[in-house]
Amino acid sequence: MTIDHEVKRRRTFAIISHPDAGKTTLTEKLLLFAGAIHIAGSVKARKASRHATSDWMEIEKQRGISVASSVMQMEYRDCVINLLDTPGHQDFSEDTYRVLTAVDAALMVIDAANGVEAQTLRLLQVCRARNTPIITFVNKMDREVREPLDLIDEIERTLGMDTIPFTWPIGMGKSFHGVYDLQHKHMRVFRPGADRSGQDEVEIIKDLNHPSVLQRFGMSLTQAQQEIELILDAAPQFDQDAFLAGHQTPVFFGSAINNFGVQEVLDTLVELAPSPSARCALQREVLPTEAKFSGVVFKIQANMNPAHRDRIAFVRICSGEFKRGINLKVVRSGKEVRTNTVVSFLSQRRELLETAYAGDIIGIPNHGTLQLADTLTAGEALQFTGLPFFAPEIFQTVEIADPLRSKQLKLGLTQLGEEGAIQVFRPHIGSILLLGAVGILQFEVVTHRLKYEYGVEARIAPAKYQLARWVTADNPRELQRFIEANAHRIAYDAVDAPTFLASFAAEISVAEENWPAIRFHKMREHA
């Protein structure tokens, strides 16, 4: 009974955007409005003072970008909200893709001046592939931005979803007066300032046609009224099923920095976003309300606390209840995991966790027992699917200045590889390790971390390969024959899966033609 109740009140979602759209600002405001933090500006200030919740790593501080995703939990109304931050920079999109596998919904932040940007588009494609429901927040209405009709038209066209405006802006920039709430049929008046919180009074106007109102807001209001008429005519009705299937997205306009429009987003998350649903394992479908615990590792973060050198595995609970001290098993290795030091992410502090339920994210400190995509259960042999690994698009070789440090290099690369920060390949012939990444910044992060966390000065040099494909075959002998025949182009990844390396796409096509029994994969899902 409690499990049903607890699962039902969970909302687990990721916040996604192109860098600079206002994700950090909105995250902070959501925490503020939910009462999880009390001082506006703390997430931002920490970001500025180079200590944001999500900025664990030095490199983020230097570049002011979020590399690592982080998790925040808050209670709002009678719901428990788990908010997963994602790195906006495309070089870390692999990390973001994995985070998206751990959520039930996504909140997309769009900069009203820029519309749908490249990175938003890529992330959205991942959401669409998984039918993740999406709520859209169009930010920065206090600036001179694009026409709202134009914006929603672009969202529809580029993202291939019906937009359902829940609010509509009245004016923009200096004459941004507020939003018309299409659900409640009233206007909420905009007041600039970042110091308000959810408890403050918002001025609400019910009769927009009152002469004094028309006079107060002038042209902006008349124009907004015409636009609203247009959308009411043209836009389809909001349909909960279409939203849950990722075909419709509710759209809100606001200004995160001015705390405007945030409350509506929070309320919508609670009212419309889904509670945790069933998840697919290779063996069967797992319901969140099943009594027994099961969960999947979607992220590993090493050395979050440099003093402890610990590694935290972020686990999405897929079913059941977690209680401190319960026995959990890693299905892949059969090893037991100690759960008395498991942490929660309540309002940004890492705290020891007593209980958690399906939908929650828990952090398990470990020393290498847990890997990405591992399934944890109370004993049942389950393997959750769907955690993607993408074929690297850039390869570099790695060597060290001091050969005496080669052990540390290996340790560092193994751990960073297990974290998914980089992919490490061991060549079939020779001993020089290859590093593979989707974005070039990943190499910077890795060299930096090798130096500061493992004391290894690594030299990274371009490798001659540009492409990799995981290779499989129904007949193991056929695969072996392929590997032997192409030995100089074969390397093994962290779980010893063989990959075929190429410098040009044409080489892959040729190999595909010559070896019909071999399958070439761009993406690997851990099993």
Report the interface residues with ligand GDP, using CB under 6 A. Answer: 17, 19-25, 88, 139-140, 142-143, 255-258
CA–CA dist 363, 341 (Å, integer): 9
Residue number, 36 or 364, with CB nearest to ligand GDP: 36
Query: Judging by DSSP bridges, how do beta strands 248-253 and 162-165 pair with one another?
Result: parallel
Backbone φ and ψ of 95, nearest 5°: -60, -45
Q: Is 167 annotated as a binding residue?
A: no
Q: Is 200 annotated as a binding residue?
A: no
Question: Smallest gap, in angstroms, from Cβ of residue 183 to ligand GDP?
Answer: 22
Question: Smallest gap, in angstroms, from Cβ of residue 289 to ligand GDP?
Answer: 35
CA–CA dist 74, 266 (Å, integer): 11
Contacts of 184 (CB under 8 A, 6+ apart): none
Residue number, 108 or 491, with CB nearest to ligand GDP: 108
Q: How far is CA 273 from the centre of its chain?
A: 16
Residue number, 22 or 165, with CB nearest to ligand GDP: 22
Question: Smallest gap, in angstroms, from Cβ of residue 113 to ligand GDP?
Answer: 9
Q: Is 20 annotated as a binding residue?
A: yes
Question: Smallest gap, in angstroms, from Cβ of residue 121 to ligand GDP?
Answer: 15
Contacts of 105 (CB under 8 A, 6+ apart): 11, 12, 13, 14, 132, 133, 134, 135, 269, 273, 274
Q: Is 139 annotated as a binding residue?
A: yes
Q: Is 85 annotated as a binding residue?
A: yes
Contacts of 131 (CB under 8 A, 6+ apart): 245, 246
Q: For residues 84 and 361, is the Cβ–Cβ distance under 8 A?
A: yes
Query: Judging by DSSP bridges, how do beta strands 321-323 and 162-165 pair with one another?
Result: unpaired
Q: Is 22 annotated as a binding residue?
A: yes
Residue number, 140 or 177, with CB nearest to ligand GDP: 140
Residue number, 47 or 316, with CB nearest to ligand GDP: 47
Residue number, 44 or 451, with CB nearest to ligand GDP: 44
Q: Is 21 annotated as a binding residue?
A: yes
Residue number, 148 or 365, with CB nearest to ligand GDP: 148
Closest CA to 186 of 206, 162, 200: 206
Question: Smallest gap, in angstroms, from Cβ of residue 88 to ligand GDP?
Answer: 5
Closest CA to 491 of 436, 435, 425, 438: 425
Question: Smallest gap, in angstroms, from Cβ of residue 143 to ligand GDP?
Answer: 5
Question: Smallest gap, in angstroms, from Cβ of residue 139 to ligand GDP?
Answer: 5
DSSP per-residue codes, 310-337: -EEEEEEEEESEEETT--EEETTT--EE
Rg over CA atoms, the chain: 25
Q: Is 55 annotated as a binding residue?
A: no
Q: Which residues are annotated as a binding site for GTP?
A: 17-24, 85-89, 139-142
Q: Which residues are annotated as a binding site?
A: 17-24, 85-89, 139-142
